[in-house]
Structure 1
Amino acid sequence: MRLTRFTDNALRCLMLLGLEPERCITVNEIAERMNMSYEHLVKIVHRLSEFGYVETVRGRHGGVRLGKSVHDISIGVLVRQTEENLALAECFDPQQNTCPISSACRLTGTFDEALNAFLAVLDQKTLADILEPRAELVPLLVRRESMVVATSYP
């Protein structure tokens, strides 16, 4: 199973916001700090806003902030909402299925069982759980402004 870039970036966006819940962070800053495409992130933030995961704030000190507690954001639910297609094989989609053995094949059931197990594990995790190694995550996401070293000229 491989998650789309959309889901991966949505998770990373929420992680950054979860590490700094007291701030409104601009989409541009999130894109820079998380090494994402700004244009793609705008679409992600819009979708996350529709789901209530984030709030957008206009104005001079505007940006994006979490719309829910980190404890209320289920990773399993988020993955289901952001993945357009969780079909592991063609036979999962009756409209696209051209497999001649699908009516007797046990592989579909096996894949379905594996997908359900995957999602069950994600359902047990919240954003708070994946932010657990805060001491390790925070230094990796240092704001770019604080990374700039002052240079003195003679």
Structure 2
Amino acid sequence: MKLTDYTDYTLRTLIFLGLHRNEQVTIQQIADGYDISKNHLMKIIHRLSLDGLVETTRGRSGGVRLRKPPDEINIGQVVRAAEQEFALVECFSRVNNRCVLSPVCELQATFRDALEAFFAVLDKRTLADILRNAEEVRPYIRLRGVTVRAENA
């Protein structure tokens, strides 16, 4: 199973905003921090705003910040909202399933159990859990092409 870049960037965006909890940051700062496309992030920020996870301010001094505290942002919910589907195998699809074994295959149930276990782990985690090692993470975030070092690093 592989999550899409969209989901990866969504989670990284939340981490960035969590690391800058008391600041309003720009989409460009996030893009620079991770060396990813600003246009891609604009779509992500829009979705996160619709989901009520971030608030945005337009204009010259505008930006984005978390709307909820990190301990109220559930990682499982974020991943479910970001991913289009979780069809691990063809037989998960009601539309495109051509597998002749589907009516009797135990593998399908095994994959469903595995997917449920995957989400059971994610559902136990919040953004606050992910940010527990924030001071270790900070040095790896780039700002305008320059790596930002922790003050005591």
Judge same fold: TM > 0.5, yes or no: yes
Where in structure 2 are there 5+ consecutive unaligned residues? Answer: 149-153
Alignment match, 1:49: 49
Please give the alpha-carbon distance, in whole angstroms, between the structure 2 residues aligned to 1:19 and 1:80: 23
- d(CA) in 2 for partners of 1:136 and 1:5? 23
After superposition, residues 5-154 of structure 1 pair within 5 angstroms as: 5-141=5-141, 143-144=143-144
What is the alpha-carbon distance in structure 2 between the residues aligned to residue 134 and residue 81 of structure 1? 24
**Structure 1 residue 145 displacement after superposition:** 7.7
Distance 1:115 1:107 in 2: 12
Normalised by the length of structure 2, the TM-score is 0.92
CA contact (8 A) 2:32 2:145 kept: no
Identity in percent: 49
Give deviations 1:37-92, integer Å, cap 9, x for gaps.
11111111111111011111112221110011100000000000100011111101
Following TM superposition, where does structure 1 have runs of at least 4 consecutive aligned residues deviating by more than 2 angstroms? 142-148
SS in 1 for 2:9: helix
Other structure's SS at 2:56 match: strand
Larger Rg: 1
Change (3 A) 1:145 1:105: closer
Describe the shift of the 1:139–1:97 C-alpha distance in structure 2 as closer, same or farther (beyond 3 A).
Answer: same
SS in 2 for 1:24: coil
Q: How far is the alpha carbon of 1:143 from its aligned partner?
A: 3.0
CA distance in 2, matches of 1:145, 1:43: 22
Read off the aligned partner of 1:56 and give its amino acid letter: T
**Unaligned stretches of 5+ residues in structure 1:** 149-154
Write out per-residue CA displacement over residues 11-56 of structure 1, whole angstroms, 9 at most, x where no aligned residue. 0000000011111111111101111111111111111111011111
Question: Structure 2: how far apart are the matches of 1:129 and 1:147?
Answer: 24
1:18 is aligned with what amino acid?
Answer: G
User: How far apart are the structure 2 equivalents of 1:36 and 1:145?
Assistant: 11
TM-score norm. by structure 1 comes to 0.91
- Partner in structure 1 of residue 3 of structure 2: 3
Aligned pair count? 148
Within 1, Cα distance between the matches of 2:137 and 2:53?
Answer: 21
